[in-house]
C-alpha cells in the first residue's frame, strides 16, 4: 500500500450475481515507485438494492471523497460504509 494510490472505490449493489447476495467492492489503484501526492480517493456508492447495467457517476446513489492519509494512520483499514458522525467518534478513540 505504501507504493500505491487508490484512485477509485466502487461499492456495487448486493445482488450483482444472480441468486447471491454479497457485498462487492472494486478497488482501482495506481502503483508507482513513490507515493503519489494524490491523497483523495473517489468513492462511488450504489444502494444495496439498485439495478445497474453500468458503473458511472450518473447512476450511483452517492459519490464521496476520502483522504487516504487517514487509512495510513489506521493500519490501512478502509471503511467506506461509516457515516460522518461515527467516523468523528472513532477518530477520537
Sign of CA dihedral 52, 55, 57, 61: positive
Total number of domains in the chain:
1
Average of per-residue pLDDT across 63-82: 71
Query: What integer pLDDT is reported at residue 35 of this predicted model?
Result: 57
Question: What SS3 state is found at 71?
Answer: helix
Give the mean pLDDT of the chain.
78
Q: How many CB atoms lie within 10 A of CB 4?
A: 14
| Angstrom distance (rounded) from CA 48 to CA 53 | 14
pLDDT at 70 over 60: yes
Domain with 66 in it = 4-92
Confidence label for 10 from pLDDT (cuts 50, 70 and 90):
very high
**SS3 of 73, please?**
helix
Any idea which of 59-63, 67-71, 83-87 has the lowest mean pLDDT? 83-87
CB 76 within 8 A of CB 1: yes
Amino acid at each position: 500500500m505504501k507504493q500505491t494510490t487508490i484512485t477509485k472505490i466502487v461499492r456495487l449493489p448486493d445482488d450483482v450475481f444472480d441468486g447471491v447476495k454479497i457485498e462487492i467492492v472494486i478497488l482501482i489503484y495506481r502503483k508507482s515507485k513513490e507515493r503519489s501526492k494524490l491523497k483523495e480517493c473517489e468513492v462511488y456508492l450504489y444502494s444495496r438494492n439498485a439495478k445497474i447495467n453500468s458503473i458511472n457517476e450518473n447512476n450511483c446513489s452517492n459519490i464521496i471523497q476520502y483522504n487516504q492519509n487517514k487509512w495510513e494512520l489506521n493500519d490501512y483499514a478502509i471503511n467506506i460504509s461509516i457515516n460522518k458522525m461515527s467516523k468523528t467518534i472513532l477518530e477520537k478513540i
